[in-house]
Amino acid sequence: MSIDSLPPLREIIERHGLMARKSLGQNFLFDLNLTAKIARQAGELQDHTVIEVGPGPGGLTRALLAQGAKVIAIERDPRCLAALEEIEQHYPGRLQVISGDALETDFAGLADGPVKIVANLPYNVGTQLLIGWLLAEPWPPFYQSLTLMFQREVAERIVARPGSDAYGRLGVLAGWRTEARITFDVPPQAFTPPPKVTSSVVHLTPRQSPLPCDAAVLGKVTQAAFGQRRKMLRQSLKPLGGEALLARIGIDPTRRAETLSIEEFVAIANAL
Ligand code: SAM
């Protein structure tokens, strides 16, 4: 069953000559039942504003609109604009397409009220965008939730706990400020062209009162600590104060970054 009366995505792709480009991280979803399932992970969408990064030919965009959202979509590939215009005409006044680079977009300034961010992210800029949203100021942030598709390995790093191989900068920042969970996996065959690896949808909800800490300083501490994750903290954190800094807050300087809890990272950042 189709979610709207627009033409199938394969037809749209052909008509607009949208051959996927690897350099833009283009792996398109054509199955509207699947895009509807992704959109549902964002919760209630009726009359909510959703910001979507990289709508491409509009598979996820259509699912968001069909579920009642108003969508502001940022797309870097101008070849997609004509296809998106067809969707805009089908949902008058509910889809705004911004032709531009999400990495240079001020997301907080895009809408007046609270927004939800939903995206099948281009793999080459996904992590950078997520870190920007996690370090947003002021906090609680301008968004109510993030529902994002990543490569499975990146999704595991986002929800990772101390002591695991996947635990690193992403896990600390996401765990500090949000509650993050993987909602479901999507196999490579669901995309055109298929990527080499499985993908996962991650849902992140901002914590209203995360442990008090300067986001930029915590970002710096985690970058230094996990930049040399096999080294002892006294070595990896040397540029930030090393052994003396760790002694001040009673953390054993011979420990490695992956053994530190989020609370301990926050304590280091606050001691700086
Ligand atoms: N949402 C579509 C779907 O699910 O089928 C396409 C997803 S595809 C993985 C990623 C999309 O992001 C592509 O349309 C690509 O052109 C776009 N994109 C890549 N880099 C971007 C950037 N820096 N800013 C905005 N869009 C970008």
Same fold, 9-206 and 215-271: no
Instruction: Indicate if ligand 1 lies below 6 Å from the C-beta of 29.
Output: yes
Determine the average pLDDT of the residues in 26-45.
97
Q: Is residue 208 within 8 Å of residue 189, measured between CB atoms?
A: no
pLDDT at 168: 96
Instruction: Indicate if ligand 1 lies below 6 Å from the C-beta of 175.
Output: no
DSSP 132-198: HHHT-SSSS-SEEEEEEEEEHHHHHHHS--TTSTT-SHHHHHHHHHEEEEEEEEE-GGGEES--SS-
- What are the pLDDT digits (tens) for 162-195? 999 999 999 999 999 999 999 999 999 999 999 9
Domains of the chain, residue spans? 9-206, 215-271
What is the band of 221 on the pLDDT scale with cuts at 50, 70, 90?
very high
pLDDT more than 90, % of the chain: 96
pLDDT at 22: 92
> What is the number of the ligand 1 atom nearest to the C-alpha of 103?
23
Would you state the CATH architecture of domain 9-206? Answer: 3-Layer(aba) Sandwich (3.40)
Instruction: Indicate if ligand 1 lies below 6 Å from the C-beta of 120.
Output: yes
Cα 269 to Cα 177: distance, rounded to the nearest angstrom = 14
> What is the number of the ligand 1 atom nearest to the C-alpha of 24?
19
Instruction: Indicate if ligand 1 lies below 6 Å from the C-beta of 103.
Output: yes
pLDDT at 1: 59
- What are the pLDDT digits (tens) for 113-165? 889 999 999 988 999 999 999 999 999 999 999 999 999 999 999 999 999 99
Whole-structure pTM value: 0.95
Instruction: Indicate if ligand 1 lies below 6 Å from the C-beta of 24.
Output: yes
Instruction: Among 3.40.50.1820, 1.10.8.100, 1.10.760.10, 1.10.10.10, name the CATH number for the domain at 215-271.
Output: 1.10.8.100
- What are the pLDDT digits (tens) for 99-120? 999 999 999 999 988 899 999 9
Q: Is residue 75 within 8 Å of residue 54, measured between CB atoms?
A: yes
